[in-house]
Amino acid sequence: MKRGLSKNHRGISPVIATVLLIAMVVAIGLVVFLWFRGLVQEEGTKFGKNIKLNCPDVNFEASYSGGVLSVINRGNVPIYQMKLKIFKEGSHETNDLSNWPELGLNQGESFSKNIASEIDSANKIILIPVLIGSSGEGKKTYMCEEQYGYEIII
């Protein structure tokens, strides 16, 4: 019985145990990292940070007068597209703002369009910016939350 428990018959050496432990930690760490990275890439990045974190930095002004909607980008985040949330009596709908510049509205650029027919009997519109970033799968757009939109009471 004692022979079976003698020091000569103990398990693997500490070095091998340590190496195995490190290898397992690295492998598991990599798997977890790649999984999380995949999630991040789904959302995409812009200017080196998650694209949704750029929404608070978007700075634009808009006005609606005589059926003409005017938008000017005063900030430093290009606005790739613009969603138009139209509020009518008891309902609302969200559409793309048509004829938006193909390359987006860059810094200092402005946009004007007659949208009278589009908003019809609306009493309020909210302009919600859509940004574009890059992800592992290529180009990725992201629609900012409504709180970053621009509200115009008509």
Partner 1 sequence: MLSQAKMFLRKDKKAVSIMIGYVLLVTSAIVMSVVVYQWIKTYVPTEALECPDGVSVFIKEYSYDCGSDELTIILKNNGRFNLAGYFIHATNESDQELATIDLSNYITSKENKGGTILFSTKNLFEPGDERTSVFDLVNSGLGQIYSVEIIPVRFQEEEGKERFASCGKAKVEEIINCGGVVVEEGGTCTEGEVQDCPLQEGVCEDSQRTCTEDEEWPSCDYGSNYEQTETTCDDELDNDCDGDTDSEDSDCGSCIEDETQLCALQEGVCLGSEQTCTDGAWSECDYGLNYEQTETTCDDELDNDCDGDTDSEDSDCEVECTSHSYFKCYSGDVYWYDSCDVREKKKEECGTSGYTGSNYCYKNDVYRDYVTRGCSDDECTSSTERKKQQECGIIGCSGGKCGTVICTELYNSGYLTEEEYGMDIKYGSTHFSPEALRGYHAFAIPAVKIMRKRPEIIGNILPLVKSFTEEMAYRLGEKENGNEIGALFLDKGLPLFERIGVLINEPDWQLLFDENYQNTNSIFQSQKYDNLVKNYFTEERIEEMFYDALERSEGSDIIFTHNLLENLEKVVEEIESWCNLIY
Binding mask 88-127 for partner 1 (x = CB under 8 A): --------------xx--xxxxxxx---------------
Please give the Cα distance from 154 to 109 (Å, whole number).
24
Binding mask 22-61 for partner 1 (x = CB under 8 A): x--xx--x---x--xx--x----x-xxxx--x--xx-x-x
Q: How far is CA 85 from the centre of its chain?
A: 19
From the CB of residue 42, how many other CB atoms can be counted at a distance below 10 Å? 11
Residue with tokens 């799968």: 137
Residue 103 tokens read as 């390359």
Q: How far is CA 92 from the centre of its chain?
A: 24
Can you give the binding site for partner 1, defined by CB under 8 A?
13-15, 18-19, 22, 25-26, 29, 33, 36-37, 40, 45, 47-50, 53, 56-57, 59, 61-63, 65-66, 70-78, 102-103, 106-112, 132-134, 138-139
